[in-house]
Structure 1
Amino acid sequence: MQLDKIPPGENPPHDIYVVIEIPGGAAGGSPVKYEFDKASGALMVDRIVNVPMFYPNNYGFVPNTLHEDGDPVDVMVRTEVTLVPGSVIRCRLIGVLHMEDDGGLDDKLIAMPIEKVDPFQAEIQDLEDLPIRHRERIWHFFEHYKSLEQGKWAKITGWGNKAEAQKILMESIERYKASEETA
């Protein structure tokens, strides 16, 4: 897959593309953390999560972005179905989970498929619209997913709304563009 050929979206920050790396959910969720290798385009096994948990939602990134941690911006996509790693889905942002880990700042944007892709969740427009149980699952997963890995840690610093998520995304797009100009 040529990740550099995929733009951040149709109309960022309102209509974005998310490249799925890790399937989520109880039915098809995975304890395996995959990451795309930018140089080869291959989907690489980064590690197997050491705690007996699966990703609660599909997980990936927005292409052609650069978060403050030096990686593309991370996104958790809430769907009723498990998505295949390598698939690209059009989404809209609803919020952000602010985090820090052993590598520094590590925000997780929270997104829903656009209405054309999944009309059954159109009523969820902001983080507060997402049922509390879903938010609790996301929080719990990221609070504990590194707890058995030696030398790794994760700390959640709070939730942010849709506007905060959109701001982080746009800053990450600009940071990526600036890094490409100096490369």
Structure 2
Amino acid sequence: MFSALHQLPAHVANSRTRIHVVVETPKGSRNKVAFEPELGAFKLKGVLPEGHSFPYDFGFVPSTKAADGDPLDVLLLLDAPTFPGCVVEARLIGALEIEQQEADGTTQRNDRLLAVAATSRLHKGIHEISDLPEEMLHEIEHFFHSYNEAKGGEIKVLHRVGAKKAHALLAQARQ
């Protein structure tokens, strides 16, 4: 038995390719929600400006720690929005390797994994980042740029990488 969402296993039992994603902010939300392990609850971290919203569900892979000290971030493609705290089985399709400059001027890596819900009907044919339309990738990158700008920071997408590299990033971040 696991005591908290952030302690769930990163991988689904008996699977080398399926991962758990804990949704923090659902698609279409302006509210940025994050799981706070010390509280054992979800906390409102901010509100996006009018006209901005999350393009897909956003969350994290449990039992991981990224370069920024937080669990690995995941943008999750699925058929309809879920809710904060929903655990979704997913498959990695790639990642955006990102360098992020904070409002205080410090720079750090803050990669975003891209995944598809295992039960998705709309996205069942997507297995690699290269399967996504270029326009969709551009819109995802634009979202991350504008989201960070609204917080007083900047990002630079260093690389778009496929599923194999995304799994390597996951292995590196597993606690």
In structure 1, the partner of 2:17 is 14
Displacement of 1:143 in angstroms is 1.6
> What root-mean-square deviation, in Å, do the aligned CA atoms of Structure 1 and Structure 2 show?
1.8
Between Structure 1 and Structure 2, the one with more helix by share is 1
In structure 1, the partner of 2:73 is 74
Distance 1:137 1:73 in 2: 21
SS at match of 1:84: coil
Contact 1:13 1:93 in 2 (8 A): no
In structure 1, the partner of 2:114 is 110
Contact 2:73 2:111 in 1 (8 A): yes
Compared CA separation, residues 141 and 41, structure 1 to 2 (3 A): same
Displacement of 1:137 in angstroms is 1.3
Q: TM-score, normalised by structure 1?
A: 0.84
Displacement of 1:146 in angstroms is 2.0
Displacement of 1:127 in angstroms is 0.5
Residue 136 (structure 2) pairs with residue 134 (structure 1) = yes
The range that moved more, 5-14 or 138-147, is 5-14
Give ranges in structure 1 of 5+ residues lacking alignment. 177-183
In structure 2, the partner of 1:181 is none
Distance 1:121 1:51 in 2: 28
In structure 2, the partner of 1:23 is 26
In structure 1, the partner of 2:172 is 171
Distance 1:97 1:89 in 2: 20
Q: TM-score, normalised by structure 2?
A: 0.88
Displacement of 1:40 in angstroms is 1.8
Could you list the per-position Cα deviations for residues 82-102 of structure 1 after superposition, in whole angstroms to 9, with x for gaps in the alignment?
111110000000010111112
Distance 1:75 1:110 in 2: 6
Percent sequence identity over matched residues? 30
After superposing on structure 2, the runs of 4+ consecutive aligned residues of structure 1 that deviate more than 6 Å are: none
Where do residues 139-178 of structure 1 align in structure 2 (5 Å cutoff)?
139-150=141-152, 152-173=153-174, 176=175
- Residue identity in the other structure for 2:116: M
In structure 2, the partner of 1:99 is 98
Give ranges in structure 2 of 5+ residues lacking alignment. none
- Residue identity in the other structure for 1:58: D
In structure 2, the partner of 1:125 is 127
